[in-house]
Amino acid sequence: MEPTILTTERLLLRPFEPTDTDAVLHACQDPDIQRWTSIPSPYEREHAEGFVHRIVPDGWRFDTVYAFAVLTRGSGELVAAISSITRGEGAAEVGFWAAKRHRGRGYVTEAVRAVAHWAFTTAGVERLEWRAEVGNDASRAVAEKAGFVIEGVQRSGIANKGVRRDGWTGALLPSDLGLPTVRPYLPAKDLNPRRPGPVVSGGA
């Protein structure tokens, strides 16, 4: 996909550029970002350069990860990063972090909503997923404010830095934002897991 620029009332979202290397390196020194995301720890200049110069452009080129730098429209300062990661037919996963000094202002929620709208209307996404380790309350708060429905806990659902941990999972659908979808969605009439249903296997 061609690199895309998105705007909101307060923010500019664009693919990362080489000039963002120092800002990425500085932001990713934050222990909370290193703890709750999959970035390397310690985070060195080579990691920031690899992200900006190789990982980001390759993601756009091969339609695997669409990574946006989130900047203020006034100062152009990097306040967050957000990515839409391809997970399968019509599905993607959103990931994000916020620079420490810019937290608590609603920037990430605003950016997530913008990326979700773009994903549903332009990128062919029909289900946008969110995952975070259980205990990452800040990430969950952003997801819920952006409209994600928390669907449960996946045991050993997240692998990070050599350790597997339980993960929260949630999803946002086009219909949650009042948007149409390519294929119709037929929700189950009864989601009560205690009621037995027919035993059916998907295999041949």
Domain span at 111: 6-126
Those residues whose C-beta lies under 8 Å from the C-beta of residue 145, and which sit 6 or more positions away, are 106, 109
Q: Please check whether residue 95 lies inside any domain of the structure.
A: yes
Complete DSSP assignment for 81-94: EEEEEEEETTEEEE
Task: Assess if residue 157 is contained within a domain.
Answer: no
Please write the tens of the pLDDT for every residue from 106-146. 999 999 999 999 999 999 999 999 999 999 999 999 999 99
pLDDT digit string (tens) for 166-203? 999 999 999 999 999 889 999 998 656 565 555 555 55
Flag whether 199 is in a domain: no
152 in any annotated domain? no
200's tokens: 């059916």
Which amino acid is residue 153, in one-letter code?
Answer: V
Residue 34 lies in a domain: yes
Q: Is residue 68 part of a domain?
A: yes
DSSP reduced 3-state for 99: coil
What is the reported pLDDT for 204? Answer: 46
Residue with tokens 């020194």: 29
Count of domains observed in the chain: 1
The first and second tokens of residue 75, run together, are: 């100062």
**Is position 167 within any domain?**
no
CB 20 within 8 A of CB 52: yes
Give the CATH number of the domain where residue 35 resides. Answer: 3.40.630.30
| Nearest of 100, 64, 95, 83 to residue 14 by alpha carbon | 83
